[in-house]
Structure 1
Amino acid sequence: MKNLSNISPVIFSLNSEALVARLCKHLDGETGNYTTRDFPDGESYLCIKTDVYQRHCIVVADMSRPNSKFLPLLFLADTLRELGAASVGLIAPYLSYMRQDRRFLDGEAITSKIFAKSLSHHIDYLVTVDPHLHRYHSLDEIYSVPSKVVQGAPALAKWLKDQGDLLLVGPDSESEQWVSDIAKYSGHPFITGDKIRRGDRDVEITLPDVSSYLGLTAVIIDDVISSGQTILCCIKALHSAGVVNIKCAAVHGIFADGVDQDLLNAGLSALITSNTISHSSNVVDISPLLIEPVLECILHVSQSTK
Structure 2
Amino acid sequence: MIVPGSSSQLLAAALADGTGRPLATATYDRFPDGERLAAVPDFDGGEATVVATTDSDEAWVELLQLQDAVREAGAGRVTTVIPYMGYARQDESFLDGQPVSARAVARAVSTGTDRVVLVNPHEPTVADFYDVPVETVDAASVLADPLGGDLTDPLFLAPDEGAIGIAETVRDAYGRGGTDHFEKRRDRETGEIEVSPSDASVAGRDVVVVDDIVATGSTMSESVDVLVEREAGRVVAACVHPMLAENAVTKLRAAGVDRIVGTDTIERGCSVVSVAPVLAETLDAAGALPEER
Q: Same fold (TM over 0.5)?
A: yes
Instruction: Determine the structure 1 residue equivalent to 2:214.
Output: 225
Contact preservation (8 Å) 1:11, 1:29: no
Instruction: Determine the structure 2 residue equivalent to 1:33.
Output: 25
Please state how far the C-alpha of 1:244 moved relative to its aligned partner: 3.9
1:42 to 28, 34, 56: 34
How high is the TM-score relative to the length of structure 2? 0.88
Contact preservation (8 Å) 2:183, 2:197: yes
Q: Equivalent residue of 1:193, what SS?
A: strand
What percentage of aligned pairs have identical amino acids?
27
Once residues 53 and 23 of structure 2 are traced to their aligned partners in structure 1, the CA distance between those partners, rounded to angstroms, is 17
36-45 vs 107-116, which moves further: 36-45
Contact preservation (8 Å) 2:48, 2:79: yes
1:255 aligns with 2:244: yes
CA distances 1:256-277 after superposition (whole Å, capped 9, x unpaired): 2221122112211111011111
1:127 aligns with 2:114: no
Once residues 203 and 90 of structure 1 are traced to their aligned partners in structure 2, the CA distance between those partners, rounded to angstroms, is 41
Once residues 69 and 263 of structure 1 are traced to their aligned partners in structure 2, the CA distance between those partners, rounded to angstroms, is 27
1:191 aligns with 2:168: no
Unaligned runs of 5+ in 2: 187-191
1:61 aligns with 2:52: yes
Please state how far the C-alpha of 1:54 moved relative to its aligned partner: 3.0
Taking a change above 3 Å as real, the CA distance of residues 241 and 292 of structure 1, as seen in their structure-2 partners, is same
Once residues 176 and 46 of structure 1 are traced to their aligned partners in structure 2, the CA distance between those partners, rounded to angstroms, is 39
Matches within 5 A, 1:289-300: 289-297=278-286, 299-300=288-289
Once residues 269 and 254 of structure 1 are traced to their aligned partners in structure 2, the CA distance between those partners, rounded to angstroms, is 18
Contact preservation (8 Å) 2:209, 2:238: yes
Unaligned runs of 5+ in 1: 1-8
Taking a change above 3 Å as real, the CA distance of residues 79 and 262 of structure 1, as seen in their structure-2 partners, is same
Contact preservation (8 Å) 1:56, 1:298: no
Once residues 133 and 228 of structure 1 are traced to their aligned partners in structure 2, the CA distance between those partners, rounded to angstroms, is 19
Instruction: Determine the structure 2 residue equivalent to 1:172.
Output: 160
Taking a change above 3 Å as real, the CA distance of residues 254 and 143 of structure 1, as seen in their structure-2 partners, is same
Once residues 257 and 70 of structure 1 are traced to their aligned partners in structure 2, the CA distance between those partners, rounded to angstroms, is 20
Q: Equivalent residue of 1:292, what SS?
A: helix
Number of matched pairs: 286
Once residues 194 and 106 of structure 2 are traced to their aligned partners in structure 1, the CA distance between those partners, rounded to angstroms, is 34
Once residues 158 and 89 of structure 1 are traced to their aligned partners in structure 2, the CA distance between those partners, rounded to angstroms, is 28
Please state how far the C-alpha of 1:183 moved relative to its aligned partner: 2.3
1:147 to 134, 139, 142: 134
Taking a change above 3 Å as real, the CA distance of residues 34 and 158 of structure 1, as seen in their structure-2 partners, is closer
Instruction: Determine the structure 2 residue equivalent to 1:85.
Output: 75
One-letter code aligned to 1:294: L
Q: Equivalent residue of 2:289, what SS?
A: helix
Please state how far the C-alpha of 1:63 moved relative to its aligned partner: 0.9
Contact preservation (8 Å) 1:146, 1:297: no
CA RMSD across the alignment: 2.4
Contact preservation (8 Å) 1:125, 1:297: no
One-letter code aligned to 2:240: V
Taking a change above 3 Å as real, the CA distance of residues 103 and 164 of structure 1, as seen in their structure-2 partners, is closer
2:170 to 161, 179, 182: 182
Contact preservation (8 Å) 2:54, 2:84: yes
Once residues 230 and 102 of structure 1 are traced to their aligned partners in structure 2, the CA distance between those partners, rounded to angstroms, is 22
1:71 aligns with 2:58: no
Once residues 254 and 146 of structure 2 are traced to their aligned partners in structure 1, the CA distance between those partners, rounded to angstroms, is 24
1:243 to 232, 235, 246: 232
1:104 aligns with 2:94: yes
